[in-house]
Amino acid sequence: MGVNAKGAIIALIETLKDKEQLEVTHGNFKFGFTSPANCAVHALAKIGEPALEPLCHALINEDIYIRANASQALCELSDHYPALFLELDSSLIKLILDAYKDNKRYNIHCNVACIIAKLKDSISIELLISALNDSNICEEVIFALGKTNNRRVVYQLLDKLKNNKDKLIRIDIIRALGELRDSAAIEDIINILKDYQIRERSHDVFKDELVSSLQKITSMKLWSKNQWIQWWDDQKQKREK
Protein backbone atom coordinates (compact mmCIF):
# COMPACT_ATOMS: atom_id res chain seq x y z
CA MET A 1 0.00 0.00 0.00
CA GLY A 2 1.48 3.34 -1.04
CA VAL A 3 2.12 6.38 1.15
CA ASN A 4 -0.82 8.22 -0.42
CA ALA A 5 -3.20 5.35 0.32
CA LYS A 6 -2.06 5.17 3.95
CA GLY A 7 -2.51 8.91 4.26
CA ALA A 8 -6.01 8.68 2.80
CA ILE A 9 -7.03 6.02 5.34
CA ILE A 10 -5.63 8.07 8.23
CA ALA A 11 -7.54 11.12 6.98
CA LEU A 12 -10.77 9.11 6.63
CA ILE A 13 -10.44 7.76 10.16
CA GLU A 14 -9.95 11.28 11.47
CA THR A 15 -13.11 12.27 9.56
CA LEU A 16 -15.11 9.66 11.52
CA LYS A 17 -15.65 12.27 14.25
CA ASP A 18 -17.02 14.95 11.88
CA LYS A 19 -20.78 14.99 12.64
CA GLU A 20 -21.66 18.11 10.65
CA GLN A 21 -24.99 17.57 8.89
CA LEU A 22 -24.89 18.22 5.16
CA GLU A 23 -27.94 18.29 2.92
CA VAL A 24 -27.74 15.98 -0.09
CA THR A 25 -29.12 17.62 -3.24
CA HIS A 26 -29.11 17.07 -6.97
CA GLY A 27 -30.42 20.01 -8.95
CA ASN A 28 -33.72 20.95 -7.35
CA PHE A 29 -34.12 17.60 -5.61
CA LYS A 30 -33.29 17.06 -1.93
CA PHE A 31 -32.38 13.59 -0.68
CA GLY A 32 -32.05 14.19 3.07
CA PHE A 33 -28.90 14.66 5.12
CA THR A 34 -25.56 12.97 5.62
CA SER A 35 -22.28 13.82 7.33
CA PRO A 36 -18.57 13.57 6.51
CA ALA A 37 -18.35 10.86 9.16
CA ASN A 38 -21.04 8.78 7.46
CA CYS A 39 -19.31 9.13 4.09
CA ALA A 40 -16.00 8.10 5.67
CA VAL A 41 -17.62 4.96 7.15
CA HIS A 42 -18.74 3.76 3.72
CA ALA A 43 -15.45 4.70 2.05
CA LEU A 44 -13.36 2.80 4.61
CA ALA A 45 -15.59 -0.25 4.32
CA LYS A 46 -15.09 -0.33 0.56
CA ILE A 47 -11.30 0.01 0.78
CA GLY A 48 -11.09 -3.49 2.26
CA GLU A 49 -7.94 -5.08 3.66
CA PRO A 50 -5.73 -1.92 3.83
CA ALA A 51 -8.33 -0.32 6.13
CA LEU A 52 -8.74 -3.35 8.41
CA GLU A 53 -5.85 -2.83 10.84
CA PRO A 54 -6.27 0.97 11.13
CA LEU A 55 -9.98 0.50 11.85
CA CYS A 56 -9.25 -2.09 14.54
CA HIS A 57 -6.92 0.38 16.23
CA ALA A 58 -9.57 3.10 15.87
CA LEU A 59 -11.82 1.00 18.13
CA ILE A 60 -9.68 2.15 21.07
CA ASN A 61 -9.42 5.80 19.98
CA GLU A 62 -10.10 8.29 22.77
CA ASP A 63 -12.85 9.95 20.71
CA ILE A 64 -16.21 8.19 21.19
CA TYR A 65 -17.43 9.15 17.71
CA ILE A 66 -14.35 7.70 16.05
CA ARG A 67 -14.83 4.47 18.04
CA ALA A 68 -18.52 4.26 17.17
CA ASN A 69 -18.07 4.96 13.46
CA ALA A 70 -15.01 2.70 13.24
CA SER A 71 -17.16 -0.14 14.60
CA GLN A 72 -19.77 0.60 11.93
CA ALA A 73 -17.13 0.67 9.18
CA LEU A 74 -15.66 -2.64 10.40
CA CYS A 75 -19.11 -4.18 10.51
CA GLU A 76 -19.73 -3.15 6.89
CA LEU A 77 -16.22 -4.28 5.90
CA SER A 78 -16.87 -7.70 7.45
CA ASP A 79 -19.98 -7.99 5.28
CA HIS A 80 -18.08 -7.03 2.10
CA TYR A 81 -14.93 -9.06 2.84
CA PRO A 82 -15.82 -11.84 5.35
CA ALA A 83 -12.74 -13.89 4.40
CA LEU A 84 -10.49 -11.22 5.96
CA PHE A 85 -11.87 -12.07 9.40
CA LEU A 86 -11.39 -15.83 9.24
CA GLU A 87 -7.64 -15.74 10.01
CA LEU A 88 -7.25 -12.40 11.69
CA ASP A 89 -4.01 -11.62 13.53
CA SER A 90 -4.34 -12.31 17.27
CA SER A 91 -3.39 -8.72 18.14
CA LEU A 92 -6.31 -7.41 16.07
CA ILE A 93 -8.68 -9.97 17.58
CA LYS A 94 -7.67 -8.68 21.02
CA LEU A 95 -8.49 -5.10 19.97
CA ILE A 96 -11.94 -6.21 18.79
CA LEU A 97 -12.67 -8.22 21.93
CA ASP A 98 -11.45 -5.40 24.17
CA ALA A 99 -13.67 -2.96 22.29
CA TYR A 100 -16.65 -5.20 22.95
CA LYS A 101 -15.91 -5.48 26.67
CA ASP A 102 -14.90 -1.85 27.25
CA ASN A 103 -17.55 0.00 25.23
CA LYS A 104 -21.03 -0.01 26.73
CA ARG A 105 -22.46 2.32 24.10
CA TYR A 106 -25.31 0.46 22.37
CA ASN A 107 -24.31 0.91 18.73
CA ILE A 108 -20.66 -0.02 19.35
CA HIS A 109 -21.70 -3.13 21.27
CA CYS A 110 -24.03 -4.22 18.47
CA ASN A 111 -21.56 -3.56 15.65
CA VAL A 112 -18.69 -5.32 17.40
CA ALA A 113 -20.93 -8.31 18.22
CA CYS A 114 -21.57 -8.77 14.50
CA ILE A 115 -17.82 -8.53 13.81
CA ILE A 116 -17.01 -11.07 16.53
CA ALA A 117 -19.43 -13.55 14.96
CA LYS A 118 -17.23 -13.62 11.87
CA LEU A 119 -13.97 -14.35 13.75
CA LYS A 120 -14.67 -18.08 14.25
CA ASP A 121 -12.20 -18.46 17.13
CA SER A 122 -13.32 -20.07 20.40
CA ILE A 123 -12.67 -17.02 22.59
CA SER A 124 -14.92 -14.88 20.41
CA ILE A 125 -17.72 -17.45 20.45
CA GLU A 126 -17.48 -17.73 24.26
CA LEU A 127 -17.75 -13.96 24.57
CA LEU A 128 -20.93 -13.88 22.49
CA ILE A 129 -22.44 -16.80 24.39
CA SER A 130 -21.77 -15.06 27.70
CA ALA A 131 -23.52 -11.96 26.36
CA LEU A 132 -26.77 -13.87 25.76
CA ASN A 133 -27.90 -12.86 29.25
CA ASP A 134 -27.30 -9.14 28.63
CA SER A 135 -30.84 -7.85 28.04
CA ASN A 136 -29.52 -4.62 26.48
CA ILE A 137 -27.96 -6.39 23.48
CA CYS A 138 -29.54 -9.84 23.57
CA GLU A 139 -31.29 -9.48 20.20
CA GLU A 140 -28.10 -8.39 18.44
CA VAL A 141 -26.05 -11.16 20.07
CA ILE A 142 -28.60 -13.79 18.95
CA PHE A 143 -28.41 -12.42 15.40
CA ALA A 144 -24.60 -12.56 15.53
CA LEU A 145 -24.59 -16.11 16.88
CA GLY A 146 -26.79 -17.16 13.98
CA LYS A 147 -23.87 -16.33 11.68
CA THR A 148 -21.25 -18.41 13.50
CA ASN A 149 -21.79 -21.93 12.13
CA ASN A 150 -20.84 -23.45 15.47
CA ARG A 151 -22.64 -26.48 16.97
CA ARG A 152 -22.04 -25.38 20.57
CA VAL A 153 -23.94 -22.21 19.74
CA VAL A 154 -26.93 -24.34 18.68
CA TYR A 155 -27.18 -25.94 22.13
CA GLN A 156 -26.76 -22.61 23.89
CA LEU A 157 -29.54 -21.07 21.81
CA LEU A 158 -31.80 -24.07 22.43
CA ASP A 159 -31.22 -23.70 26.17
CA LYS A 160 -32.06 -19.99 25.94
CA LEU A 161 -35.17 -20.84 23.92
CA LYS A 162 -36.44 -23.28 26.56
CA ASN A 163 -35.88 -20.88 29.45
CA ASN A 164 -37.10 -17.63 27.91
CA LYS A 165 -40.73 -16.49 27.91
CA ASP A 166 -40.26 -13.34 25.81
CA LYS A 167 -41.95 -14.10 22.50
CA LEU A 168 -39.84 -11.66 20.50
CA ILE A 169 -36.59 -13.10 21.87
CA ARG A 170 -37.86 -16.61 21.14
CA ILE A 171 -38.59 -15.57 17.54
CA ASP A 172 -35.05 -14.19 17.21
CA ILE A 173 -33.60 -17.46 18.54
CA ILE A 174 -35.71 -19.61 16.21
CA ARG A 175 -34.64 -17.44 13.28
CA ALA A 176 -30.97 -17.81 14.28
CA LEU A 177 -31.35 -21.59 14.57
CA GLY A 178 -32.70 -21.62 11.03
CA GLU A 179 -29.66 -19.70 9.84
CA LEU A 180 -27.34 -22.19 11.58
CA ARG A 181 -29.03 -25.08 9.73
CA ASP A 182 -28.02 -27.70 12.30
CA SER A 183 -30.15 -30.83 12.58
CA ALA A 184 -29.64 -30.85 16.37
CA ALA A 185 -32.35 -28.18 16.60
CA ILE A 186 -35.07 -30.05 14.67
CA GLU A 187 -36.68 -31.97 17.52
CA ASP A 188 -36.87 -28.98 19.86
CA ILE A 189 -38.39 -26.77 17.18
CA ILE A 190 -40.96 -29.42 16.22
CA ASN A 191 -41.89 -29.93 19.89
CA ILE A 192 -42.47 -26.20 20.25
CA LEU A 193 -44.56 -26.23 17.07
CA LYS A 194 -46.52 -29.24 18.37
CA ASP A 195 -47.36 -27.48 21.64
CA TYR A 196 -48.14 -24.11 20.05
CA GLN A 197 -51.88 -23.51 20.02
CA ILE A 198 -53.09 -21.94 16.78
CA ARG A 199 -55.62 -22.81 14.14
CA GLU A 200 -53.98 -24.82 11.38
CA ARG A 201 -54.61 -22.36 8.55
CA SER A 202 -54.02 -19.19 10.56
CA HIS A 203 -51.09 -16.92 9.87
CA ASP A 204 -48.98 -16.24 12.95
CA VAL A 205 -45.46 -14.78 13.09
CA PHE A 206 -44.23 -17.24 15.73
CA LYS A 207 -45.56 -20.28 13.88
CA ASP A 208 -44.27 -18.95 10.56
CA GLU A 209 -40.75 -18.57 12.00
CA LEU A 210 -40.85 -22.12 13.37
CA VAL A 211 -41.82 -23.46 9.95
CA SER A 212 -39.30 -21.26 8.12
CA SER A 213 -36.45 -22.48 10.35
CA LEU A 214 -37.44 -26.12 9.87
CA GLN A 215 -37.49 -25.60 6.11
CA LYS A 216 -33.98 -24.10 6.17
CA ILE A 217 -32.58 -26.88 8.34
CA THR A 218 -34.21 -29.80 6.51
CA SER A 219 -34.68 -28.40 2.97
CA MET A 220 -38.22 -29.81 3.22
CA LYS A 221 -41.06 -27.69 1.86
CA LEU A 222 -43.72 -28.59 4.42
CA TRP A 223 -46.04 -25.91 5.73
CA SER A 224 -48.56 -27.15 8.29
CA LYS A 225 -48.00 -28.25 11.88
CA ASN A 226 -49.47 -31.68 11.17
CA GLN A 227 -47.17 -32.22 8.17
CA TRP A 228 -44.09 -31.50 10.28
CA ILE A 229 -45.22 -33.71 13.15
CA GLN A 230 -45.93 -36.57 10.75
CA TRP A 231 -42.60 -36.09 8.96
CA TRP A 232 -40.68 -36.16 12.25
CA ASP A 233 -42.52 -39.27 13.44
CA ASP A 234 -41.58 -40.95 10.15
CA GLN A 235 -37.91 -39.96 10.62
CA LYS A 236 -37.83 -41.42 14.14
CA GLN A 237 -39.38 -44.68 12.94
CA LYS A 238 -36.77 -44.99 10.18
CA ARG A 239 -33.96 -44.54 12.72
CA GLU A 240 -35.44 -47.20 15.00
CA LYS A 241 -35.49 -49.86 12.27
CATH of the domain at 2: 1.25.10
> What integer pLDDT is reported at residue 203 of this predicted model?
66
- Assess whether 126 and 160 both reside in one domain: no
Number of structural domains, the chain?
2
The parent domain of residue 83 ranges over 1-148
Share of the chain above pLDDT 70, in %: 89
DSSP letters for the chain: --HHHHHHHHHHHHHTT----EEEEETTEEEEEE-HHHHHHHHHHHH-HHHHHHHHHHTT-SSHHHHHHHHHHHHHHHHH-GGGGTT--HHHHHHHHHHHHH---HHHHHHHHHHHTTT--HHHHHHHHHGGG-TTTHHHHHHHHTTS--HHHHHHHHHHHHT---HHHHHHHHHHHHHHT-GGGHHHHHHHHHH----TT---HHHHHHHHHHHHHH-----SHHHHHHHHHHHHHHHH-
Q: Are residues 2 and 109 in the same domain?
A: yes
Which residue, of 148, 168, 184, is where some domain finishes? Answer: 148
Domain match, 15 and 99 both: yes
Q: Taking residues 72-79, report their average pLDDT.
A: 93
Same domain, 114 and 199: no
Residues 44 and 142 in one domain: yes
Whether residue 57 is found in the same domain as residue 74: yes
Query: Same structural domain for residues 212 and 107?
Result: no
184 shares a domain with 160: yes
Choosing from 95, 114, 148, the residue where a domain stops is 148
Q: What is the pLDDT of residues 106-124, one digit of tens each?
A: 678 888 888 887 776 677 7
What average pLDDT does the chain have?
86
Q: Is it the case that residue 171 has pLDDT exceeding 70?
A: yes
Share of the chain above pLDDT 90, in %: 45
